[in-house]
Structure 1
């Protein structure tokens, strides 16, 4: 009875006992060691500003218990006598378990990294971080699978070639979607604008509300939501007013030609005094700029020290009001358009006024060569 002899074989039971004992002991030791090291790293993380110890602690916590048991089992198998074919299988088993564990650690590291991007309170493109995380995980698990197949003796050259051809075919089929996806990734990495920024491009002016995988949504000043593809948006010149620290303001006004030269000179000094006394703006220059058709034109430049449009308008209004009062105090008149028509030669037409006799109307007619 061969089965009975097998069951009563003391050497077999001895080796089995050794295998179980070594496996369990190794499993317990590895689990305790990982727990202790993880706690030590966590304690060090509390005393430093660096997140390196935190990441290392979390990676050790994410170690698979099943793979720990597989390592313990293979260590136990080393203590017993095995056939040569089992020795070869064990070498592959070591590599497969190690490859799986490394892939799990890297996958968890990518998750921790993407989560950490939102912990500092900064507004980021969530689609970009998610997309980067997915791409990195696909690369990690693909490399793990190919390395395991190569270790088992499978020829992966043809597989890689077929994956490349398939990838090209898929890329050609969804090239529009891919262009918008990569544009979204470019927006997230380069950060030309973020959620909450006020942007202007083409005829569109509004606030960024959402940056998606394919489109970006903008709330226009008139209230409607504008949806534009990410690739189309990046192909245009975008003005981001949220990141404007100062505004260079240029405005002009005109005074009457009857103003004396010394008062014209004094107007420039009054403008400088007004702007210097106004908060959140800096005087740059004020010049008697040009002789225009019906006015002496002044050009004024000042630098508003805020990006807020409403504050800029408040500042400009205050400057205008003070300038109006200053010119009135100086008895300097603002210019206004004047048109003078001169009639030369011929007879003026008769003017008839309703309710008046023709002679009276003729008496009121201007003399020859007059001005009307």
Structure 2
């Protein structure tokens, strides 16, 4: 206990002696170099005023920005400059003029020591502001502080801790402290924290992926898995999506990005594929004519563009056609209105042309004992009457065969 007291007293005495020596040396330096000190001080004041003017310009540019807007690169650099501290400006001026004023070594060493601390901390502040501004720029005007406000808070904390930890290590290294053990301890601690919070960091990085890759934004209509809905909120760990039925679906960001997503927000036009069938009684010359008729019907609709219409197969009970057209716009309701209008006009025009839509049907044919088809032909009635007049005879055997057609 007494040894510790003696050590503290010795340290205090040594510090007092060093401080007195520096003060004595400073007095002698001021007395012998008054003119040089005045010139250096004037130059230092000019440099400080210039740096303060640059900082004021950055603050003015930042003040003109409307809150919530997307920060551009000039604004990002202005925000970085606006974060310049007065302590750093003073030490920059002192460092630039100290060597030209025949500064004593002890005072010069003190200025260098303070400048290293100020420059390192200022570099960390600038780097933090630049990184956070870039993330906000990538997130967009409404995503940086709205949909991802919680994620941005965690990112801000992590960036601040990481940068200032590096700054402290750099300062200690410049002061001659052995930082190898400290770096190793920080590395082991980081690994432990990473393993303990693996799920949280996984969702955090997924949120950052949403910021930078922008697979979707708030308000976009997306489809993932078997769900379709509109994105309401993108958080740090999960994304909330309002499904078409009205329920709120909460999905982990990691799981969401592992799925195949369909985003309907960038949709510029919608493609309509309509299949229909006509009866086999259609005149062959009408088959190619239907394409021209449907082209005229489609082009009458607003924002609709005809693509093609062809017969593509002989179906079981119909000749099948494909009609393809496009509707400009993103709203599904407008697309559905155009598609419905096309269907109504098709029904009207087909009725005028005498073209009938096919539907699944089945016709029964009846054969006579000798194998001749007798139904549904007109003379079957005579044959049936003749058979009914033969009383006492065995019933005529009939074989039935089924086929597909329109009847």
| TM-score interval (norm. to shorter) | 0.7 to 0.9
Distance 1:294 1:54, change over 3 A: closer
Normalising to structure 2: TM-score of the pair? 0.70
- Tell me whether 1:95 sits opposite 2:125 in the alignment: no
1:227 is matched with 250
Q: Is contact 1:218–1:226 with CA below 8 Å preserved after alignment?
A: yes
* Structure 1, 295-304 or 211-220: larger mean CA deviation: 295-304
Q: Is contact 1:251–1:299 with CA below 8 Å preserved after alignment?
A: yes
Out of 33, 40, 46, the residue aligned to residue 50 of structure 2 is: 33
2:239 is matched with 216
Shift of 1:40: 6.5
- Tell me whether 1:126 sits opposite 2:151 in the alignment: no
2:353 is matched with 330
Listed as ranges, the matches of 1:18-97 within 5 Å are: 28-38=45-55, 58-70=79-91, 82=104, 87-97=108-118
Q: Distance in 2 between matches of 1:56 and 1:314?
A: 50
- Tell me whether 1:176 sits opposite 2:199 in the alignment: yes
Out of 179, 184, 190, the residue aligned to residue 167 of structure 1 is: 190
Give the 3-state SS of the residue equivalent to 1:239 in structure 2.
strand
- Tell me whether 1:138 sits opposite 2:155 in the alignment: no
Q: Distance in 2 between matches of 1:323 and 1:162?
A: 77
1:357 is matched with none
* Structure 1, 141-150 or 240-249: larger mean CA deviation: 240-249
Distance 1:216 1:319, change over 3 A: same
1:275 is matched with 298
Give the 3-state SS of the residue equivalent to 1:242 in structure 2.
coil
Q: Distance in 1 between matches of 2:299 and 2:267?
A: 22
Normalising to structure 1: TM-score of the pair? 0.76
* Structure 1, 137-146 or 326-335: larger mean CA deviation: 137-146
Out of 307, 326, 329, the residue aligned to residue 303 of structure 1 is: 326
Give the 3-state SS of the residue equivalent to 1:243 in structure 2.
coil
Distance 1:189 1:301, change over 3 A: same
Q: Distance in 2 between matches of 1:207 and 1:233?
A: 14
1:290 is matched with 313
Out of 274, 277, 283, the residue aligned to residue 251 of structure 1 is: 274
2:373 is matched with none
1:106 is matched with 127
Q: Is contact 1:39–1:57 with CA below 8 Å preserved after alignment?
A: no
Q: Distance in 1 between matches of 2:85 and 2:334?
A: 58
Q: Distance in 2 between matches of 1:103 and 1:55?
A: 15
Give the 3-state SS of the residue equivalent to 1:278 in structure 2.
coil
- Tell me whether 1:191 sits opposite 2:244 in the alignment: no
Distance 1:122 1:213, change over 3 A: closer
Q: Distance in 2 between matches of 1:137 and 1:100?
A: 11
Give the 3-state SS of the residue equivalent to 1:178 in structure 2.
helix
Out of 263, 280, 284, the residue aligned to residue 261 of structure 1 is: 284
Q: Is contact 1:193–1:240 with CA below 8 Å preserved after alignment?
A: yes
Q: Is contact 1:23–1:69 with CA below 8 Å preserved after alignment?
A: no
Distance 1:115 1:241, change over 3 A: closer
- Show CA shifts across 1:275-334 (max 9, x none): 233222221211122222222221111122223211110110111011111001112222
* Structure 1, 97-106 or 171-180: larger mean CA deviation: 97-106
Give the 3-state SS of the residue equivalent to 2:265 in structure 1.
helix
Q: Distance in 2 between matches of 1:218 and 1:21?
A: 68
Q: Distance in 1 between matches of 2:141 and 2:61?
A: 24
Q: Is contact 2:138–2:211 with CA below 8 Å preserved after alignment?
A: no
Q: Distance in 2 between matches of 1:123 and 1:93?
A: 40
Give me the CA root mean square deviation.
Answer: 4.0
